[in-house]
Amino acid sequence: MENLKFPEGFLWGSATSSYQVEGGIENNDWAQAARERKVSSAGRATDHYHLYEQDFDLAKSLGQNAHRFSIEWARVEPEEGKFSQEAIEHYRKVLEALQARGLEPFATLWHFTSPIWFTEKGGFENKKAPEFFSRYCGYVVSQLGDKARFWITINEPNIYTDQGYRQGNWPPFKKNILKYIKVIKTLARAHLMSYNIIKTLNPKMQVGIAKNNMDFDSSKFNLIGRGVQIFRNKFWNHYFLKKIEAHQDFIGLNYYFHKHFGYKFYEQKNDLNWPIFPPGIYHVLKELMKYKKPIYITENGLADAKDEKRGKFIKEHLRWVWQAIQEGVDVRGYLYWSLLDNFEWAHGFGPRFGLIEVNYETLERRIRPSAWEYAKICKSNQLEIN
Ligand code: BGC
């Protein structure tokens, strides 16, 4: 038996996002798409909007000391330029509830969903989108900046543009490479402007993005595969990060995917048929070292309704995170996706990512066995391996 110790002060927690768990959001692009029957409706979801205190109690009982959640832009700015004090008060209470339980908040300002007024103006295709977005970010931080230190402006710019502008599965359901590239660039500008506004309001705020990076691989002998691997790695993993390089205080890493060009056999896949490949997190972490910024793993998780693979999944990924730390990568926290089962975008409520199972009929919460395995690591700040 070996004990792998994590650095003192390491943050342990889990993540959610507003539209996926809160319920009752009708004025954003996803709710609109559900009314048009293009995606299913999130409806009341897990009703986390009302049950957050009890959910944070559970997170605390699981030994967590950090929590990532998102603020719904459509609640805060339901009409262009008109901010809702009620929404701000709600999120103030959410932040206070986290603080009261010793959970360090990571507040995401945009996790894929936008107010309808904004999408009617073209969303992030509009040249002025960075102004709209940064005005909202500035407003939130001016109101709530005393309650959180870590702010994530944008969640996964690449997944959003890929799903919304290349594959056409998510709002605005387009398949247009020129727009895809334009929107990535606009998102980078939106981050830069927001970063500057937030830092002017309070230079102590720690501002970054949550970036989905993949582990690309190919057989040594497959020259085409190698070429694709190099290109995709540069474009998917580093293009956006390079654009905002001087304007991020930390890197938030969301790790889910390993892509091997050419055939490869995977022993394990999750319920969405995504290969499980824990060494990939080590590879992407090592590559992020060059940015010389602290790294927080802002998401890592799997859909596993039967909870058969989750415990092992978490341990194996953490084993590789630990290895990266030994080799000098400045990883300071790990936030499992997700605290609760939730609305998994175009897949609806089917996939179960939660440490906590949610019964969508009764809203009852049940802690899954793997959550206790993770809790052991969180509480002891170390990973026991056999
Ligand atoms: C997103 C989450 C999503 C998770 C699992 C990430 O891409 O940030 O919103 O639920 O992956 O697919």
Q: What pLDDT sits at residue 273? A: 96
Ligand 1 neighbourhood includes 270 CB (under 6 angstroms): no
Summarize pLDDT for 71-90 with one digit per residue, the tens: 999 999 999 999 999 999 99
Closest ligand 1 atom to residue 301 Cα is 5
Q: What is the pLDDT of residue 53?
A: 99
Q: What is the mean pLDDT of residues 13-36?
A: 98
Query: Which active-site residues does the annotation give?
Result: 299
pLDDT of amino acid 193: 98
Residue with tokens 């005005």: 135
User: What is the spatial distance between Cα 386 and Cα 127, in angstroms, rounded to a whole number?
Assistant: 55
Lowest-pLDDT range of 145-154, 263-272, 295-304, 328-337: 263-272
The residue nearest atom 10 of ligand 1, judged by CA position, is 344
Decide: residue 3, CB within 10 A, 0-12 exposed, 13-18 middle, 19+ buried: exposed
45: left (phi over 0), alpha (psi -120 to 50) or beta: left
134 falls in which pLDDT band (50, 70, 90)?
A: very high
Using an 8 Å Cβ cutoff, are 335 and 343 in contact? no
pTM of the full predicted structure? 0.98
Cα 345 to averaged position of ligand 1 atoms, centre (Å): 8
- Give the whole-number percent of the chain exceeding pLDDT 90: 97
133 C-alpha to ligand 1 centroid (Å): 21
Say how many Å lie between the first and final Cα of the chain, rounded.
4
What value does the mean pLDDT take over residues 315-329?
Answer: 98
Residue 265: is its pLDDT beyond 90?
Answer: no
pLDDT per residue as tens digits for the range 174-201: 999 999 999 999 999 999 999 999 999 9
Per-residue pLDDT tens digits for 364-379? 999 999 999 999 999 9
* Chain segment 100-131, per-residue pLDDT in tens: 999 999 999 999 999 999 999 999 999 999 99
Largest CA distance in the chain: 60
How far is Cα 223 from Cα 207, in angstroms, rounded to an integer? 39
Look at 226-230, 283-287, 310-314 and tell me which has the smallest mean pLDDT.
226-230
**CATH number of domain containing 96:** 3.20.20.80
CB 353 within 8 A of CB 369: no
pLDDT given at position 267: 84
Q: Give pLDDT, residue 264.
A: 83
For residues 140 and 71, is the Cβ–Cβ distance under 8 A? yes
Q: 349 or 261: whose pLDDT is higher?
A: 349
The whole domain housing 76 covers 2-385
Does the beta carbon of 17 sit less than 6 angstroms from any atom of ligand 1?
yes
pLDDT over threshold 90, residue 304: yes
> Mutation test of ligand 1: which of 20, 211, 299 has the most ligand atoms closer than 8 Å to its C-beta?
299
The pLDDT, as a whole number, for residue 344 is 98
- When pLDDT is cut at 50, 70 and 90, the band that residue 266 belongs to is confident
Residues in CB range of 368: below 8 A, 6 or more apart: 307, 310, 354, 355, 356, 357
Q: Per mean pLDDT, which of 224-233, 264-273, 340-349 is the most reliable?
A: 340-349
Q: Is pLDDT of 173 > 90?
A: yes
Query: Residue 25 has what pLDDT?
Result: 98
Q: What's the rounded Cα separation, in Å, for the pair 91 and 94?
A: 5
pLDDT (0 to 100) of residue 263: 80
Total domains, the chain: 1
